[in-house]
Amino acid sequence: MYVCMCHAVTEDQVKRAIDAGANTPRQIAKGCKAGTDCGSCVRRIQALLGEHGARPCPTARLADKLGLADPGADPAPAPLPAPVAPLRVA
């Protein structure tokens, strides 16, 4: 599957770059130019980097830094809101 349509870069090519040590979208771009034209593929490249442990997204890093992240845990279901009495119009 193509990740970058502008430069015909596939997901496998990006994964190989990650396996070869690329940790950032810029490092991926140095090898194959992915993300250097329209930029619409950069988020997918960032996701691939995160999925393959190269570099978690900034939100995940912040959550980890603040001690809020536990990637293995299922999120607890949000409590249901209290019922609201219907409005009555006099």
Contacts with ligand FES, residue ranges (CB under 6 A): 4-6, 34-41
29: β partners? none
Closer to ligand FES by Cβ: residue 6 or 60: 6
* Chain CA centroid to CA 25, Å: 12
Q: At what angle do helices 25-32 and 42-51 cross, to 10 degrees?
A: 110
Closer to ligand FES by Cβ: residue 15 or 63: 15
Closer to ligand FES by Cβ: residue 47 or 62: 47
- For the bound state, the minimum distance from the C-beta of residue 25 to ligand FES, rounded and expressed in Å, comes to 10
